[in-house]
């Protein structure tokens, strides 16, 4: 008979509980709490994610099935749907957000490598729309009969770990999320053409960071210099110049680089803009 710890209990031993307790104190998470603490709440929600539960009701059914092991799994004396839902609704989400970023920072430091050819941090930024039930998530109205949120993620390419996550209503335009990205000097930020907003791209330049973004078809651009290219690499042209549109030339007054690339595999041509000249 195996008398050792449960696998879930072994996994949570890797979590720095002292750091979490410090955040609970900072945000007064356990104020007026008698039994179901923030730590119990965190482990219950983690259990739900790891066991692929679809709802709180489904999660409680799974936890009840292990009721005799509840204490050893870290859930406390007992977990009910009402106290879990109240905890999720009323407790400060910053406790769990700050703890998540703390763990992400640890993971990124351990995953650092020099395999990528570009020196410096390289990030890709994009969003995913997650559909929700309008009856339950009425605050996230997306369409006439549907709710939804957008998960804006800054992905660290070298470590393959998300470095920053921002959640908005699904109706929010993607470019608005660029305003909350924590830009780092010397880092590269890769965007799709849905993020072409030269006011916001110029902010990246002001932070002494670099961007690479796909250009739109209506781009107004005048080159002043042609860089030599190796067409065998797929690069058809490499130009440095300035934006010539009346407004965009004011939004982005500095030189910008335009690279045209042909991909044989998909038989498509891509146009990229970057401030790394």
- 10-residue mean pLDDT profile of the chain (277 residues): values are 71 92 94 88 91 88 81 78 89 94 91 73 94 85 88 93 93 94 95 95 96 93 91 90 91 95 93 95
- Which CATH number is 115-214's, of 3.50.50.60, 1.20.1290.10, 3.40.50.2300, 3.30.420.10? 3.30.420.10
| Domain locations along the chain | 7-102, 115-214, 215-277
pLDDT, position 120: 77
Q: To the nearest 10°, the Cα dihedral for 182, 179, 238, 113? A: 20
**C-alpha to C-alpha distance for 53 and 32, rounded to whole angstroms:** 29
Q: What confidence score (pLDDT) does residue 1 get?
A: 43
153 contacts 189 by C-beta, under 8 angstroms: no
Q: Would you say the C-alpha torsion 82, 85, 89, 92 has a positive or negative sign?
A: positive
User: Is the dihedral angle over the CA atoms 55, 42, 60, 80 positive or is it negative?
Assistant: negative
Q: Can you list the positions of beta strands (E) in the chain? A: 122-132, 141-143, 146-156, 161-169, 188-191, 210-214, 221-226, 235-243, 256-263, 268-274
Q: Phi first, then psi: what are they for 145, rounded to 5°? A: -125, 25
Block residue for tokens 């470590």:
159
Give residue 144's pLDDT: 83
Nearest Cα to Cα of residue 72 among 104, 109, 40 = 40
Q: Go through 41-61 and write b for each residue having 16 or more CB atoms within 10 A of its CB, e for each that does not.
A: bbbbbebbeeeebeebeebbe
Give the residues across from 223 on adjacent strands: 241
Can you give the pLDDT at residue 116?
A: 65
Q: For strand 210-214 and strand 188-191, is the pairing parallel, antiparallel, or unpaired?
A: parallel
Contacts (Cβ under 8 Å, ≥6 apart) of 176:
168
């Amino acid at each position: 008979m195996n008398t050792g710890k449960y696998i879930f209990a072994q996994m949570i031993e890797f979590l720095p509980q002292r750091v979490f307790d410090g955040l609970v104190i900072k945000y007064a998470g356990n104020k007026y709490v008698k039994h179901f603490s923030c730590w119990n709440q965190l482990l219950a929600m983690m259990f739900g994610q790891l066991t692929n539960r679809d709802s709180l009701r489904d999660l409680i059914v799974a936890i009840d099935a292990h009721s005799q092991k509840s204490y050893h799994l870290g859930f406390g004396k007992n977990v009910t749907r009402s106290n879990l839902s109240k905890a999720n609704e009323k407790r400060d989400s910053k406790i769990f957000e700050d703890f998540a970023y703390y763990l992400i920072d640890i993971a990124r430091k351990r995953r650092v490598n020099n395999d990528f050819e570009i020196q410096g941090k390289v990030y890709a930024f994009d969003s995913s729309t997650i559909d929700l039930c309008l009856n339950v998530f009425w605050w996230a109205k997306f369409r006439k009969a549907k709710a939804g949120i957008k998960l804006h993620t800054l992905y660290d390419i070298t470590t393959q770990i998300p470095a920053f996550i921002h959640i908005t209503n699904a109706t929010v335009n993607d470019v608005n999320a660029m305003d909350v990205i924590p830009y780092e000097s010397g880092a590269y930020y890769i965007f799709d053409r849905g993020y072409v907003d030269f006011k916001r791209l110029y902010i990246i330049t002001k932070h002494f960071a670099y961007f690479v973004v796909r250009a739109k078809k209506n781009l107004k651009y005048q080159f002043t210099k042609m860089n030599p290219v190796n067409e065998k690499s797929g690069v058809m042209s490499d130009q440095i110049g300035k934006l010539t549109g009346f407004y965009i030339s004011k939004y982005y007054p500095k030189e910008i680089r335009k690279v045209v690339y042909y991909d044989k595999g998909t038989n498509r041509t891509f146009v990229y803009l970057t401030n790394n000249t």
